[in-house]
A and B are shown apart, each in its own frame.
Chain A
Amino acid sequence: MVNEAVQSDLLRWIVALPLIGALIHGAWLALVRRPFSKGLVVAISCGAVIASFLLSCVALVDLGGRPEGERLLVDSLYTWIGSGSFGAEAAFLLDPLSAAMILVVTGVGSLIHVYSIGYMNDDHREDGGFQRFFCYLNLFTFSMLMLVLSDNLVLMFLGWEGVGLCSYLLIGFWYSDRFYAYCGSKAFIVNRIGDFGFLLGIFLLFWSLADAGAPTVSFRDVQAAFPAIAEQTLRLPEGLAFLPGAPDWKLATLIGLCFFVGAAGKSAQLPLYVWLPDAMAGPTPVSALIHAATMVTAGVYMVCRLGFLYDAAPGAAATIAWTGGATAIFAATVAIAQTDIKKVLAYSTVSQLGYMFLAAGCGGYGAAMFHLVTHAFFKALLFLGAGAVILATHHEQDIRKMGGLRQRIWRTWVVFGVGVVAIAGFPPFSGFFSKDEILLSAWAAHVPGHRWLWAIGLATAALTSFYMFRLFFRVFHGQSRMSAEQLGHVHEPAATVMVPLYVLAALSAAAGLLGFPQAYGDLLGIPDSNTLANFLAPVIGHAEHAVEHSTEFALAGYAIAAAVIGLALAVVLYIQNPALSGQISRTFSAPYRLLLNKYYVDEIYDAGIVRPLVRFSDRVLYRLVDALAIDGYAVNGTARAVRSLAADSLKYVQSGLAQGYLVVMLVGTAALVGWLVL
């Protein structure tokens, strides 16, 4: 539905403030080269993001004060690109969907900025690192806000690339370590594959809309014009006849799949997830902000934003749902065997993102967004908590070398525990409600095999509960496996580190109330209890569950049972009988090693794609094409040809005899005059 939009100059400031912060830092570091004092850095960066958060709250209040159908604010700045029928505005769009996103981005972003003050404070690895770090963080916040607030696909792509760049810069923040620099490049390159799909999607959508007489990239106009092309089909080439639905595909399916390739790259879905676990090379606040709470959810946001397209493309939606489901369970199994605290959380993030895509593919955009929000809270909490543990243990990340930390750092133990319980899905913590809604939308979906998807989701929930409690027990409970001296140095981190943790713990515990299901609401006599779903409904529609309340309760019962099973297993294996887990891993050593080595996916990619590509680039592109053909023949060959020509014959023209030159000049002038006159 296209509504009359109200102009609001507020939006540009929400986006601009972090950019100003980044520009001040960037310009100063590039031109003056002597970093600001830490206090000034903090004042500028945190001030910019917190101000942006406050403005977002003001915008939300403004939005919420309007009647339901008119919740739409735009801020048109200028025409960014205009070329023939193609045009892209630099314009921002605030509707309930982007409002939810900017609150998460600036809210969680502010907390992580504050946390970073404490976390990066003892980073003496290089000069200016503190300011550089905050410069990148601000730049990231700016890009992410561009992404979620953009009014059209092209501007969204700009933000999309911006967050990718910042991710690369921050993963490789300690670039003097070659491996970290490699991880940054890996993230960037894998993301490029996804970006390629995103671009193709934009081109294809614009092209087919232009064919239908509505050349536009703005979301609202695209949505209005989309029915014109919704039923168009195209014929697949002969070679692709094996694909389901061949020989005629809906155009919308192809467009939807192109966009999903982009989403899969950014949001770390199979088969493009490999960069996210390695992205943990970056500082922990970065892992929390970029690689858990915000950037990686951009793909989910995009799918929800283009929900109208996927509603018309069941094939693409089913692909999303199944990819999401497969990713969810795949990553959850890997997370079971990991020993690095951040790697466990990274695979958990991949798994939870798969969950969101499962919901989005099943048409449960509200459920996906709900889980996005709650996940942003509890995963940021878990990462920041892990950061607190890492700080407390002086940069120890191996959970095999931890244990028994509860007595030393009980405050961290409490907040980390809240995060674990939330992600494991115990009521009444936030993860329970959002996970439940996803399972419900899978149960009630129209996607082929949706009951299997539900079962996968349930199994993933049990696995999630198991590996999170495994992590929790290994770190905080049992006998300490640290040396006495190391243990003596363990201490609770500074206040700037702890305060964001308390806030996030409160949010993780309570955010479920944002999406309190109507089934429970009816029980307690609360009308319209699902605030978030009702708020988002004008943009992404209500999920039409034809499900009885009793079924809903039964499904919730299964989900709780799954979480309890996971918890019980973890208690048995890691508290009651710690020796048993070692025995199991020895008895089933082959599957254990498979999980420990992440199904050897990195090795397979390396052997199957990376090495052949590198060899091809080295042998053919570099030695043959570049060194031999371009450098050898084209560049040096031209120079050699000119030189031999000049050296052998042309140089004798330069005789040194003035009268010879005079003859040439006279003859030339005469010829020129003759040609002009005659």
Chain B
Amino acid sequence: MVPISHAIALSALLFCIGAAGALARRNLIVILMSIELMLNAVNLALVAFSRQWGDIAGHVFVLMVIVVAAAEVTVGLGIVISLFRNRESVNVEDASLLRW
């Protein structure tokens, strides 16, 4: 039996890696992947707590998150492709027209 602290530590680590990736990288596809990583870090924590308390609600949440994440990736990749067609670039800094 793995103690919950391990699972939480792993989850925190994954989340931080994801956040760092989302902040530091300029490639939109990599940013999307980093966001997936953060979502899955949260999923891991949810499953761990669900098991800890013997409550099925955590599992249900995880399934919901997976569905939403799939939808989010679909839309995100769609935007990336559309951006690439217009600008021939997937750099996030090239998509900063919506400003003052």
Contacts and interface: CB of A to CB of B under 8 A. Distances in A.
Contact of B96 (A651, A652, A655): A655
B81 interface: no
B98 A656 contact: yes
Contacts of B97: 656
Top 7 closest A-B pairs, CB basis?
A: A656-B99, A656-B96, A651-B100, A654-B100, A657-B96, A656-B98, A654-B99
A666 B38 CA distance: 12
A1 interface: no
B13 interface: no
B22 interface: yes
B1 interface: no
Interface of B: 19, 22-23, 31, 92-93, 95-100
A663 interface: yes
Interface in A588-605: none
Question: Among A651, A652, A659, A663, which residue has the most Cβ atoms of chain B within 10 A?
Answer: A659
A573 B19 CA distance: 110
Given A651-B100, A659-B22, A659-B23, 8 more contacts: A652-B100, A656-B97, A656-B98, A658-B96, A659-B31, A659-B92, A662-B23, A666-B19
20 contacts: A654-B99, A654-B100, A655-B96, A655-B100, A656-B96, A656-B97, A656-B98, A656-B100, A657-B92, A657-B93, A657-B96, A657-B99, A658-B92, A658-B95, A658-B96, A659-B31, A662-B22, A662-B23, A663-B23, A666-B19
A63 to B, nearest CB: 76
A15 B92 CA distance: 76
Contacts of B96: 655-658
B9 to A, nearest CB: 17
Question: Among B19, B23, B96, B100, which residue has the most Cβ atoms of chain A within 10 A?
Answer: B100
Contacts of A656: 96-100
B80 to A, nearest CB: 12
Interface in A620-668: 651-652, 654-659, 662-663, 666
Nearest to A659: B23
A655 B95 contact: no
A555 B33 CA distance: 113
B11 to A, nearest CB: 15
Nearest to B24: A659
A147 B95 CA distance: 73
A431 to B, nearest CB: 85
A75 B39 CA distance: 72
Contacts of A655: 96, 99-100
Contacts of A651: 100
Question: Among B19, B95, B96, which residue has the most Cβ atoms of chain A within 10 A?
Answer: B96
A235 B34 CA distance: 84
A413 to B, nearest CB: 87
A662 B21 CA distance: 12
A244 to B, nearest CB: 75
A657 B97 CA distance: 9
A652 B96 CA distance: 13
A545 to B, nearest CB: 91
A655 B95 CA distance: 11
A658 to B, nearest CB: 6
Interface string A489-523: 00000000000000000000000000000000000
A580 to B, nearest CB: 92
Nearest to A656: B99
A666 B99 CA distance: 20
A235 to B, nearest CB: 68
Nearest to A666: B19
A615 to B, nearest CB: 49
Nearest to B99: A656
Contacts of A666: 19, 23
Contacts of B31: 659
